[in-house]
Amino acid sequence: MQFQQLQYFVAVAEARHFTRAAETVHVAQPSLSQQIKALERELGADLFLRARGNITLTDAGEALLPLARRILADAETARYEVRELVQLRGGRVRLGATPSLCTGLLPDVLRAFHDRYPGVQLLVEEGGSHDLIRELARGALDLALVVLPLPAPAPALTTVELLREDLVVVSSLDAPRPGGGRRAVRVADLAGERLVMFRHGYDLRELTVAACRSAGFEPEFAVEGGEMDAVLGFVRAGLGLAVVPRMVAARSAHDLRVTPLARPGLHRTIALAHRSDVAPPRAARELQRMLLER
């Protein structure tokens, strides 16, 4: 099995067309087809069902695809690792984070990293913990900031707890104070309040809804489905309240009312995750160190 054959296989699997795949990898279509056939002979199984104008993966092809993508991603990481050996003057870091962390924690850390290593390319992918864990597992990310506990067991990942953050209630400055004006509100005080809620798959949505149900009520949504910036904008417009991380609220305290939650309150634990079977590239390890020392 040759590395180039895996490249051609992934190109065809993604394009579902031999000619377009050949154009993608800059090779003549007959050469690509020959390499795919050689790979199938090596594996002893057809990888594609070939019908005129319709290319689909066989069961063997479906099984090979995630493994091939991981091998190619690891090889790409190896290239960057070698390039980085000279004082981190080049390379890249592929970092995943939940949108709230992109708003609250990351800007200052990434600015410090960029000031120290201006030649390192920073690629940031936003997503929920479930999506980020999947991207880590397939080799598409070097590091990810995720919320613990993980949504599913992930034995192939190593996690290091980074911080434990309080959640607070934000509301419009023009709206009545939540909880009858008390300095701190209980989750139970949110019963009857209209909430601005994040989209499905968002860690904060699941945490807030679970807390409301534990307090004995089903939350009422004024609007739902937004990302962090949209949720804060809807709250500013007076559509309802939202439960957000304290770091995010602190950046918006000039135009939103921030009300803490009474003890025991709500919290979330943020961890830094990476694959256990592959050491992060040197630049990623340096960013990891800066995050842990922040």
One fold for 82-163+270-293 and 164-268: yes
Local confidence pLDDT in tens for the 294 residues of the chain: 899 999 999 999 999 999 999 999 999 999 999 999 999 999 999 999 987 768 899 999 999 999 999 999 988 888 777 766 556 777 789 999 988 888 778 989 999 999 999 989 999 999 888 889 989 988 899 999 998 887 666 668 899 999 999 999 999 999 888 888 788 999 999 998 999 999 887 888 989 999 999 999 999 999 998 888 899 999 999 999 999 999 889 888 889 999 999 998 999 999 999 999 888 888 899 999 999 988
Q: What kind of architecture, by CATH, is found in domain 82-163+270-293?
A: 3-Layer(aba) Sandwich (3.40)
What torsion, rounded to 10 degrees, do the Cα atoms 66, 69, 73, 76 define? 160
Q: What is the pLDDT of residue 294?
A: 81
Residue ranges of the domains in the chain?
Answer: 3-65, 82-163+270-293, 164-268
Q: What is the pLDDT of residue 153?
A: 67
Does CATH place domain 3-65 in 1.10.10.10? yes
Q: What is the pLDDT of residue 114?
A: 94
For residue 220, the 8-state DSSP code is E
List the one residue out of 163, 127, 120 whose CA is nearest residue 144: 127
Strand ranges, E, within 172-253: 194-198, 220-226, 242-245
Question: Chain-centre distance of CA 209, in angstroms?
Answer: 21
Q: What kind of architecture, by CATH, is found in domain 164-268?
A: 3-Layer(aba) Sandwich (3.40)
Q: Is 231 helix (H, G, I), strand (E, B) or coil?
A: helix
Rounded to 5°, angle at Cα 186 from 181 and 190: 75
